[in-house]
Chains A and B, each alone.
Chain A
Amino acid sequence: MGVVTTGGQAAGTNKRAALVPLRAERPKAAPCDPRMSDVDEWGRSERMRTIIRRLSTPVYRYWFRVEWEGLEKIPTTGGALLVANHAGAIPPDAPMIIHGIEEELARPVYGLADYFFKEIPVGGTLWARLGGVTAHPDNALRLLADEGQLVLVFPEGTKGPSKTYASRYRLRRFGRGGFVEIAMRAGVPIVPIAVVGAEEAMPILFRLPRVAKKIGLPYFPITVNHLMFGPIVGSALYFPAKFKMRVLDPINFDVAPGQERYSKSRVMDEAENVRTEIQEALFDMLRDRHSPWLG
Chain B
Amino acid sequence: MVRTVGRRILVTGLDTFWGGRVAQALEARPDVDVVLGLGTGSPSVALDRTEYVRSDQTYSILSRIVRAAKVDTIVHTFLIVDSTSMNARTLHELNVIGTMNLLAAAGSADTPVRQVIVKSSTMVYGCSARDPTFFTEEMEGPSLQRTRLERSLLDVEALLRDFADDNPSTVVTLLRFANVIGEEISTPITRNLSRSLVPSVLGFDPLFQFVHETDVVRCLEFVTMQQRPGIYNVAGRGRMPWSEVVAMVGTKRLLLPPVATRLAALPLIRAGLIDLPPEMECLLRYGRGVDTSRLESAGFEHNFTSAGAVDSFARATRLKRAVGTTKPSYTYEADVEAFFRHSPTVAANDRSGKD
Contacts and interface: CB of A to CB of B under 8 A. Distances in A.
B310 interface: yes
B133 A34 contact: no
Contacts, number: 76
Interface stretch (B56-64, B186-194, B235-243, B343-351): B235-243
The 3 closest A-B pairs by CB, nearest first: A121-B203, A34-B311, A122-B203
B202 interface: yes
Q: How large is the interface on A (under 10, 10 to 19, 20 to 34, 35 or more residues)?
A: 20 to 34
A121 B259 CA distance: 10
A138 B204 contact: no
User: Which of B289, B310, B311 has the most chain A CB within a 10 Å cutoff?
Assistant: B311
Contact of B207 (A33, A35, A39, A115): A39
B311 A138 contact: no
16 contacts: A34-B248, A34-B308, A34-B310, A36-B244, A37-B243, A39-B240, A41-B133, A42-B133, A119-B129, A123-B203, A124-B203, A124-B204, A125-B204, A134-B129, A139-B132, A142-B134
B47 to A, nearest CB: 29
A151 to B, nearest CB: 12
Contacts of A121: 201-204, 258
A272 to B, nearest CB: 27
Interface of A: 31, 33-37, 39, 41-43, 115-116, 118-125, 133-134, 136, 138-139, 142
A148 B248 CA distance: 31
A31 B314 CA distance: 15
A166 to B, nearest CB: 32
Interface string B58-74: 00000000000000000
A138 B308 contact: no
Contacts of A134: 129-133
Given A37-B243, A41-B134, A125-B204, 10 more contacts: A31-B308, A34-B307, A35-B240, A41-B238, A41-B289, A115-B128, A116-B129, A138-B139, A139-B134, A142-B133
Contacts of A36: 244, 247-248
B205 interface: yes
B130 A115 contact: yes
B286 interface: yes
